[in-house]
Structure 1
Amino acid sequence: MKAIWNNTVIAESSNTRIVESNHYFPPEDIKTEYLKPSDHHSRCPWKGKASYYHVQVNGEINKDAAWYYPSASHAAKPIENYIAFWNGVKITE
Structure 2
Amino acid sequence: MADEHWVATEPSPRHVRAVFAGTTVADSKRVLLLRERGHVGVYYFPMDDVRMDLLVRTDKHTRCPYKGDASYWSVEVNGRRAENAVWAYEDPLSERVDIKGHVAFYWD
Q: Which runs of 4+ in 1 moved over 4 A?
A: none
Structure 1: which 5+ runs fail to align? 89-93
Structure 2: which 5+ runs fail to align? 1-15, 36-40
Question: RMSD of aligned C-alpha atoms?
Answer: 0.9
Larger radius of gyration: 2
Task: Pick 1 or 2: higher relative contact order, CA cutoff 8 A, min separation 6.
Answer: 1
Aligned residues: 88
Partner of 1:13: 28
Give the alignment of 1:42-81 within 5 angstroms: 42-81=62-101
TM-score (norm 1): 0.90
Contact 1:62 1:87 (8 Å CA) reproduced: no
> Which one of the candidate residues 14, 21, 26 is aligned to 2:46?
26
Secondary structure of 2:63's counterpart equals strand
Looking at structure 2, the residues matched to 79 and 24 of structure 1 have their Cα atoms a distance apart, in angstroms, of 7
Between the two proteins, what is the percent identity of the paired residues? 33
